[in-house]
Amino acid sequence: MKLLRKILKPIPFKLKKFPYLEAGEGKFLSGRYSRVREFFLVVKIAVEFIKGFRAFHFLGPGVTFFGSARFSEDHPYYDLARKTAQLFSQAGYVIITGGGPGIMEAANRGAYEIKGPTVGANIKLPIEQKPNIYLDKFVTFKYFFVRKVILVKYSMAFIVMPGGYGTMDEFFEALTLIQTGKLYKFPVILMGKEYWAPMIEWLQNTMVNNGTISQEDIDYFTLTDDPTVALSKTKEASTLLGVTPEALSQFRLSQL
């Protein structure tokens, strides 16, 4: 009984309830709850991880595309993502995205148009993000951090197209995991030279010059506008890991 009273002991304070607290991280990250409630939140998160693992486990070698959801289909970056995804799909890679519009749609569409496997890890947002129509399979997550783990876990390369806060978050998280030895040095490909040039300059002239990153850390990513360069880097890494062109060619959409 004493232990039970300790577990059920009220928390010292509660935050005022706001609408954004109703879903995913809004509830989980908004401060402390009772121990019982936090236990069940952890269970919900574990269930979401399992849902993602089950959906993506048998996909085959994948490449994840990151980028803005705000680009329309007549934008040059949309077209670049679409063509790049087609090239990767032809090589046998599964095209993985966040499942939404913009760059995500473009990449899924590129694979879909040549009947290549294309999947999405969609996210539930206050402003609802609907899965795009070019997905063979998708899972909708409540928690951003669960979704990001899935996108990283099942990818052999990361194609980072122009984007906003979310894209920057995904880009730097991949680099951080590689830098700290938590992730194999999978290719991280920045596409859109003109868009990323000011950031590269800042990394070089501010971060490297101040010693917050090393010059070697800059080598963890490749900047290019050429889809063939991106594919070449990815194939090189895949081969080192034992994923041969023959293994890629044997993958079939029916496995989804």
Name the architecture of domain 50-244: 3-Layer(aba) Sandwich (3.40)
Amino acid at 51: K
Query: For position 254, what pLDDT does the model report?
Result: 44
Question: For 95-106, how does the pLDDT look when each residue is reduced to its tens digit (9 = 90+)?
Answer: 999 999 999 999
Q: Delimit the domains of the chain by residue range.
A: 50-244
pLDDT, average across residues 183-204: 96
Amino acid at 125: L
What is the model's pTM? 0.88
Distance CA 72, CA 74 (A): 5
In percent, the amount of the chain with pLDDT more than 90 equals 70
Q: Which residue has the higher pLDDT, 74 or 243?
A: 74
Query: For position 253, what pLDDT does the model report?
Result: 45
With cut-offs at 50, 70 and 90, classify the pLDDT of residue 8.
Answer: low
Query: For position 102, what pLDDT does the model report?
Result: 97
Residue 166 burial (CB < 10 Å; 0-12/13-18/19+)? middle
Q: Which residue has the higher pLDDT, 63 or 14?
A: 63
**Residue 5: C-alpha distances to residues 10, 14, 23, 43, 170 (Å):** 9, 19, 29, 22, 42
Range from 9-23, 51-65, 129-143, 214-228 carrying the lowest mean pLDDT = 9-23
pLDDT, average across residues 68-88: 97
With cut-offs at 50, 70 and 90, classify the pLDDT of residue 52.
Answer: very high
Residue 16 burial (CB < 10 Å; 0-12/13-18/19+)? exposed
With cut-offs at 50, 70 and 90, classify the pLDDT of residue 249.
Answer: low
pLDDT for 4 beyond 70: no
Contacts of 44 (CB under 8 A, 6+ apart): 142
**H or E segment and range at residue 153:** helix 144-153
With cut-offs at 50, 70 and 90, classify the pLDDT of residue 145.
Answer: very high
Query: For position 63, what pLDDT does the model report?
Result: 97
